Amino acid sequence: MDDLERLIGEHRSALDTVESPNADRGWASLQTQLGKRRAETRVRRLRWSLGAVASLLLLVAASWWWTATKPGSGGLENSPLVSDYAPELYAEERRYLASIEEKQAGLDLERVDTTLFAPFLEELRLIDSLQRSDLEGLPQVGVNDRSLRALIRYYHIKLQLLERLEDELHEQQKRRQRQDQSI
């Protein structure tokens, strides 16, 4: 402690001339710095919240798009059916729907090479989209026999496309077998 007392004694005059800092000015400075930090924290939280909301919306939109354009989905699950407008077509529509579902299950569209068979899959999506829009617009156009037959025809076209896809898949499988045998 002697060194400390000696050091204080040597610098006593310098220590006596130092003014004590203004406590009010120090607190004010501290509060402004804390206020800036709080504002920065709020901005950061707002950015994170907006980012989370945007990500969630993007996820929901992507999920909806994926299920709506899924190759195996008929695309008409939530749409009205032709038989909703013409009950006399119920049996015919159900036969087509059952045949289409059976074909899709047999083809296992989830495992189909989407690049190789893109034209077929795109055509299926297009048929579903056209049928869906025509069904939704039917009340505005008016329900008549011609429009109902056209809507039933979509099922027939879709079934033909699935049969062509099935034939192409069998041909591809045969080509692979021949290639494997020749090797």
Could you tell me the residue ranges of all domains in the chain?
18-68, 82-182
Residue 42 neighbours by CB under 8 Å, 6+ apart: none
pLDDT tens digits for range 64-118: 777 665 544 444 455 678 888 888 988 998 999 999 989 888 887 777 777 888 8
pTM of the model: 0.53
pLDDT tens digits for range 110-159: 777 778 888 888 898 899 888 988 888 888 888 888 888 989 999 999 99
Positive or negative: CA dihedral 59, 65, 66, 68: positive
pLDDT of residue 18: 60
SS3 133: helix
Mean pLDDT of the chain: 80
From the number of C-beta atoms within 10 Å of its C-beta (0-12, 13-18, 19+), residue 115 rates as exposed
pLDDT of residue 179: 84
pLDDT of residue 34: 67
**Do 71 and 109 touch, CB atoms closer than 8 A?**
yes
**Do 158 and 103 touch, CB atoms closer than 8 A?**
no
pLDDT band, residue 9 (cuts 50/70/90): confident
